[in-house]
C-alpha cells in the first residue's frame, strides 16, 4: 500500500503545509487557517469521488503501456494535471472570457476571487460542450465495438456492439444529442455549445489518430528490430482524458471556495490519489479479476458525459454526478464478484463463451 500511495501521502502533506502557511499569511487567524485546511481536504475528497471512474479507465490504457510510460504518467502527467488543468486552465478561461492578459487573469484570481469565480462559471456552457462530447466519445467507442465479446448489460451492449460495424454511428448519435440540447439554449449559448462539442469530437478523433499512427510506427520499428517508443500515444490519450474528467471538478470546486490557491491545492491532492489508484489497479490486476468493473466505469463515463452536456441547460449538483458514477462502478464490481462465485477460475473461459 505504501508503495502505491507513498508519493500521494507525501504530496498531500506538502500541500497541506503550503495551505497552512498561505492561510496564516492571508488571515492571521488559527481558526480561519484551519477552516481553509478543511476546505482543501474536502476538495481533495470531491476530486477522488468524481474521478474514480477515471482511474478505472486510465488503468485500462495504462495496463497496455510499459513500466517506463507508467512512471511518466505518474510524474510528467501529474505536472500536466496539477499545473495545467488546476491552475493554467482556469486562468486561461478567465483571460479568454474577459479579454485580458494572463498576468491580469492571475491578479484577478488572487485579489478578486468573486470576479474570478463569476468569469470561470460564465464559461460553463463551452466547457460542458467540449468535455461532455469528448467523454461521450470515449464511452460510446468502448461499446460501439464489433469485436467486443464480453458484455455486462447483455441485452443492450450486444446491440451496441452490432452498431459498431456502422461507420461513425457513435458520432451520429452524439451529434443528434448535442443538437437536441442546443435547441433548448439561447442562440448565442447554442452556438458556443455546438462549437465546443464539435471541438471535443475532433479532439477525440485527433488523439485516436495520433495513437494509431504511433502504433503503426512502433510495429514497423519492431519488425525492423529497432527500439520503439511504446506508450506515447496512450500517454497523450490519458492526459486529454484526465483533462476532460477534471472539468466538472474545477467548476464544482467553486461550491466550496473561490480562492484559486485553495482550489488548486485541494484538487491537486485528489488528482495525485487518482493516479496512485490507477497504478494500484494495474499492478494488482484488478480489472482482470473483476471482469465487469471496466464496463461499469465506461457506463459511468457515459453518464458523466450526459450530465455534463445537460448541465449546459440544467444545473446538476456534483453530488449527483459522483453518486451515479459510484453506483455504476459498485454495481459492476458486485456483479463481477457474483460471477466469480458462480464460476470458479477453471470455468471462467467456458462460462464466458457460454454467455
CA-CA distance, 130 to 148, in Å (whole number)?
A: 27
Domain boundaries, the chain: 2-354
pLDDT the model gives residue 346: 44
- pTM score of the predicted model: 0.79
How confident is the model over 101-126, as pLDDT tens digits? 888 888 888 888 888 888 888 888 98
| Mean pLDDT, residues 248-261 | 75
Give the residue carrying C-alpha cell 476571487: 113
Grid cell of 34 as nine digits: 484551519
Burial class (CB in 10 A: 0-12, 13-18, 19+), 220: exposed
Confidence of residue 171 (pLDDT cuts 50, 70, 90): very high
Between the two ends of the chain, the Cα-to-Cα distance in Å is 36
From 305, 296, 298, select the one nearest 139 (Cα to Cα).
298
For the chain, the maximum distance between any two Cα atoms, rounded to a whole number of angstroms, is 67
% of the chain with per-residue pLDDT over 90: 19
Higher per-residue pLDDT: 81 or 154: 154
Contacts of 126 (CB under 8 A, 6+ apart): 192, 193, 195, 196
Amino acid at each position: 500500500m505504501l508503495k502505491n500511495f507513498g508519493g500521494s501521502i507525501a504530496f498531500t502533506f506538502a500541500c497541506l503545509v503550503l495551505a497552512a502557511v498561505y492561510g496564516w499569511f492571508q488571515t492571521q487567524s488559527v481558526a480561519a487557517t484551519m477552516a481553509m485546511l478543511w476546505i482543501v481536504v474536502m476538495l481533495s475528497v470531491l476530486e477522488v469521488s468524481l474521478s474514480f471512474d477515471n482511474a478505472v479507465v486510465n488503468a485500462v490504457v495504462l495496463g497496455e503501456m510499459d513500466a517506463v510510460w507508467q512512471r511518466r504518467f505518474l510524474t510528467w502527467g501529474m505536472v500536466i494535471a496539477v499545473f495545467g488543468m488546476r491552475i493554467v486552465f482556469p486562468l486561461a478561461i478567465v483571460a479568454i472570457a474577459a479579454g485580458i492578459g494572463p498576468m491580469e487573469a492571475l491578479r484577478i484570481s488572487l485579489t478578486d476571487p468573486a470576479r474570478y469565480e463569476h468569469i470561470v462559471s460564465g464559461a460553463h456552457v463551452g466547457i460542458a460542450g467540449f468535455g461532455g462530447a469528448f467523454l461521450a466519445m470515449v464511452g460510446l467507442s468502448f461499446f460501439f465495438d464489433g469485436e467486443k465479446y464480453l458484455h455486462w448489460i447483455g441485452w443492450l451492449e450486444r446491440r451496441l456492439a452490432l452498431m459498431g460495424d456502422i461507420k461513425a454511428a457513435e458520432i451520429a448519435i452524439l451529434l443528434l444529442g448535442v443538437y437536441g440540447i442546443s435547441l433548448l439554449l439561447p442562440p448565442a449559448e447554442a452556438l458556443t455549445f455546438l462549437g465546443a462539442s464539435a471541438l471535443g469530437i475532433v479532439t477525440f478523433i485527433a488523439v485516436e489518430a495520433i495513437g494509431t499512427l504511433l502504433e503503426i510506427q512502433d510495429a514497423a520499428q519492431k519488425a525492423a528490430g529497432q527500439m520503439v517508443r511504446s506508450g506515447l500515444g496512450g500517454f497523450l490519450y490519458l492526459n486529454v482524458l484526465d483533462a476532460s474528467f477534471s472539468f466538472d471538478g474545477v467548476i464544482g470546486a467553486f461550491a466550496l471556495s473561490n480562492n484559486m490557491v485553495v482550489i488548486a491545492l485541494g484538487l491537486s491532492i485528489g488528482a495525485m490519489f487518482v493516479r496512485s489508484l490507477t497504478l494500484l489497479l494495474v499492478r494488482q490486476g484488478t480489472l482482470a479479476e473483476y471482469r465487469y468493473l471496466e464496463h461499469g466505469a465506461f457506463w459511468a463515463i457515459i453518464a458523466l458525459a450526459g450530465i455534463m452536456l445537460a448541465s449546459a441547460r440544467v444545473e446538476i449538483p456534483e453530488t449527483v454526478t459522483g453518486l451515479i458514477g459510484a453506483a455504476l462502478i459498485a454495481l459492476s464490481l458486485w456483479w463481477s464478484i457474483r460471477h466469480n462465485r458462480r464460476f470458479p477460475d477453471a470455468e471462467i473461459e467456458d462460462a464466458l463463451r457460454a454467455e
